[in-house]
């Protein structure tokens, strides 16, 4: 298998159409007759106030919750084609970092000989995220930001054409966040990516298509289409103007959610 994230081993990344007839959570209707589109081989970023349903939509797409019809452009199912990075790092505390990075392969019954080869690739990824000296450490020895970097390495290691990420950079300091945004943009180029984030500038740096989830039941508003290939310069004046526009839309979304509560 080529380097994870190189795109050489992954099939063409399909687009997805997601339909949700009705989803009720704790007595609240989150979605009703909702349709959402992920364009193939592009980054789609989803923003919105806390509680509007961003993570619920991601979980529906990932198949972790029932209630959605997900249709791929190529007509194939999603099994074996999706990598998920949740808000929590979900590292197994009894396994060293490097074994957590190749955990998916272990669970799928990869032979020990194959895992030895995969560990070499995992070490390369850990070096890319700044954790090469912590490959043999247990998760308890890592800070929150380091654990999140390990979870990102595990997601990249899966080398899947469809990648779903829920606040993958939230626990990182500003410099590390900036660097890993660039790393993810490079290694996941050509994949169909859904990034859930609360950070407008992060979405504008990385996304090809941006949506704000708004209302109750929630509806994705957009898309907003930043110009130029990601990762974009966060100091670009055109990008900062779009950030102001996006913040206005997020403020509107938060107000609608408060009115419906």
pLDDT greater than 50 at residue 142: yes
pLDDT reported for residue 259:
86
Q: Are residues 248 and 166 in the same domain?
A: yes
CB-facing half-sphere around the CA of 159: CA atoms within 13 A: 18
Note the pLDDT tens digit of each residue in 82-141.
999 998 999 999 999 999 999 999 999 988 889 889 999 999 999 999 999 999 999 999
**Which of 159, 190, 213 is the last residue in one of the domains?**
159
pLDDT reported for residue 3:
52
- The 8-class DSSP code of residue 84 comes to E
What domain range includes position 203? 21-81+161-261
Q: Are residues 195 and 72 in the same domain?
A: yes
Average pLDDT, the chain: 91
Residue 12 included in any domain:
no
Q: Considering the chain, what percentage of its residues have pLDDT values greater than 90?
A: 84
pLDDT greater than 60 at residue 9: no
Q: Are residues 115 and 205 in the same domain?
A: no
Of 111, 113, 158, 109, nearest to 9 by C-alpha is: 158
pLDDT reported for residue 6:
42
CATH code where residue 68 lies: 3.40.50.300
Strands 28-38 and 16-25: antiparallel
Q: Are residues 197 and 110 in the same domain?
A: no
Token readout for 143 is 């800070």
């Amino acid at each position: 298998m080529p380097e994870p994230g190189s795109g050489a081993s992954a099939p063409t990344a399909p687009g997805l159409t997601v339909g949700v007839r009705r989803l009720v959570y704790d007595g609240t209707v989150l979605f009703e007759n909702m349709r959402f589109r992920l364009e193939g081989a592009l980054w789609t970023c989803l923003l919105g106030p806390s509680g509007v349903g961003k993570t619920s939509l991601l979980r529906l797409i990932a198949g972790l919750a029932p209630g959605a019809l997900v249709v791929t452009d190529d007509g194939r199912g999603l099994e074996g084609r999706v990598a998920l990075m949740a808000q929590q790092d979900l590292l197994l505390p009894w396994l060293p970092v490097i074994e957590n990075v190749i955990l998916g392969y272990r669970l799928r019954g990869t032979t020990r000989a194959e895992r030895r080869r995969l560990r070499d690739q995992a070490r390369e990824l850990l070096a890319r995220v700044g954790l090469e000296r912590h490959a043999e450490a247990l998760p308890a020895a890592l800070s929150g930001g380091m654990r999140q970097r390990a979870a990102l390495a595990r997601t990249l290691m899966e080398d899947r054409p469809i990648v779903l990420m829920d606040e993958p950079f939230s626990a990182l300091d500003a410099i590390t966040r900036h660097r890993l945004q660039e790393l993810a943009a490079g290694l996941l180029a050509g994949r169909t990516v859904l990034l859930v984030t609360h950070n407008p500038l992060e979405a504008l740096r990385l996304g090809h298509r941006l949506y704000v989830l708004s209302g109750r039941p929630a509806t994705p508003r957009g898309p907003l289409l930043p110009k130029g290939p990601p990762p974009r310069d966060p100091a670009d004046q055109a990008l900062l103007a779009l950030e102001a526009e996006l913040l206005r839309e997020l403020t509107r979304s938060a107000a609608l959610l408060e009115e419906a509560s």
